[in-house]
Structures are given as structure tokens and as C-alpha cells.
């Protein structure tokens, strides 16, 4: 068997697979059906709002700006595992983890996200990052007004993404709620901060 025979067999198979029969233009009835869809769309009611004074409500599961969540006592849910950054198809997330200590505790467990950045010039709002997060630290809000006049302002830092402190929360770092460990946080047993957690 010569070296040319396998090549001829491949070329012959390629020619056979490319042979596509052309039937000509679609029948007139099929074309009219397509035009009918476009024609009927002209008479559908259009939703017009006086934006930005009036804003149309988004869908409940709308993929908007990201938010880094906190536990009920104020500790951060992010453990710096970087799974969100690995899952991001646009390479828009940068996470740098660091170790917690008893004196400087930002999240339950061993690590926390020391640096957290999302580049909204790259983000495609697909939501794969929130699916990858093992602690539900990262979620997406309904906020969609992200336009700005500077590229630098569209790279959100950890401070821009952290959820605001609610009633009963203390800003991190602070120690665990008395008598608890990281497992109590993950199982939702901590419901608010304790006065002894406040850093002097």
C-alpha cells in the first residue's frame, strides 16, 4: 500500500460529504410565512418607559452586578477558594486568598478573600461564578446600571462588591460568635453578632 492511497481515500470522503443538493429558493408559501411573523410583530404593544426617571422591573433571576455576601454576624462568606475565578469563561475575576488568624478573622474557616476583583469590561454575566461558589458568597443582584466614563471604574474591588452591613452585623475582622466554629456558620446556626465579638 503506497503512501498516497490513504490520502486519496480521505480526499474522496471529503468530496462525498461536501456534495449538498441545492433545491433552489424556498417555495412562495414558506417565504410568506416568514414575512407574516415580521408583519404581526409591528402590532404588538411596545413597553416604553421614561428611563432613567422610570425603570422597568427586572426578572427575579436577572443577572446583574455581583455581590459578596456576609454571614448574619458580619463575617464574610468568601473563603478565598478561587473557584469562581476558575469557572469564569471570560477571565474577569481575580481572587487572592489569605489565611485567617484568631486575631484577624474575616471569614469562618482557614482562609478569606484578601483581594477580590471583577472586571466588568470582560464579564459576560453568565452566572457560572455563582454556581461554582461553595459557600454562596457570590450572588448576582438586579442592578444593571454599570456604565461609566472610565475603564478603571469598571474594575470593582472587594469594597465595591461587599454587601452592606445590616442590623445586628459587625464589620470584619472579629472573632467567631461565642461557643461556635466554622461548621455552625455553614449550617446557619449563627443569626446575629454578639457584643463580645466587637473589636476594641
SS3 15: helix
- Residues 19-64 have pLDDT tens digits of 666 677 778 888 898 899 989 988 888 878 898 899 888 998 999 9
Label residue 14 by pLDDT band (50, 70, 90).
low
90 lies in a domain? yes
What percentage of the chain has pLDDT greater than the value 90? 66
User: Could you tell me which residues are beta bridge partners of residue 95?
Assistant: 116
Domain contains 34? no
pLDDT digits (tens, 9 = 90+) for 136-180: 999 999 999 999 999 999 999 999 999 999 998 999 999 999 999
What CATH number is given to the structural domain containing 182? 3.30.70.3270
pTM of the model: 0.75
Domain that holds residue 115: 66-191
In a domain, residue 178? The reply is yes
| pLDDT value of residue 71 | 95
- Let me know if residue 108 belongs to a domain: yes
| Tally of domains in the chain | 1
Residue 171 belongs to a domain: yes
In three state form, how does the secondary structure of 23-68 look? CCCCCHHHHHHHHHHHHHHCCCCCCCCCCCCCCCCCCCCCCCCEEE
Amino acid at each position: 500500500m503506497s503512501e498516497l492511497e490513504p490520502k486519496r481515500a480521505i480526499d474522496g470522503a471529503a468530496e462525498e460529504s461536501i456534495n449538498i443538493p441545492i433545491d433552489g429558493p424556498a417555495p412562495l408559501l414558506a417565504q410568506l410565512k416568514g414575512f407574516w411573523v415580521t408583519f404581526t410583530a409591528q402590532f404588538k404593544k411596545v413597553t416604553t418607559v421614561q428611563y432613567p426617571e422610570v425603570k422597568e422591573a427586572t426578572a427575579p433571576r436577572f443577572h446583574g452586578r455581583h455581590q459578596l455576601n456576609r454571614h448574619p454576624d458580619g463575617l464574610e462568606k468568601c473563603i478565598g477558594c478561587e473557584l469562581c475565578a476558575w469557572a469564569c469563561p471570560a477571565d474577569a475575576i481575580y481572587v487572592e486568598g489569605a489565611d485567617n488568624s484568631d486575631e484577624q478573622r474575616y471569614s469562618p474557616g482557614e482562609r478569606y478573600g484578601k483581594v477580590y476583583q471583577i472586571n466588568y469590561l470582560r464579564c459576560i454575566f453568565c452566572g457560572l461564578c455563582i454556581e461554582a461558589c461553595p459557600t454562596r458568597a457570590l450572588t448576582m443582584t438586579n442592578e444593571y446600571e454599570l456604565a461609566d466614563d472610565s475603564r478603571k471604574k469598571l474594575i470593582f474591588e472587594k469594597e465595591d462588591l461587599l454587601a452592606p452591613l445590616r442590623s445586628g452585623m459587625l464589620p470584619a475582622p472579629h472573632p467567631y460568635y461565642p461557643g461556635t466554629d466554622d461548621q455552625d456558620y455553614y449550617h446557619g446556626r449563627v443569626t446575629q453578632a454578639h457584643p463580645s465579638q466587637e473589636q476594641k
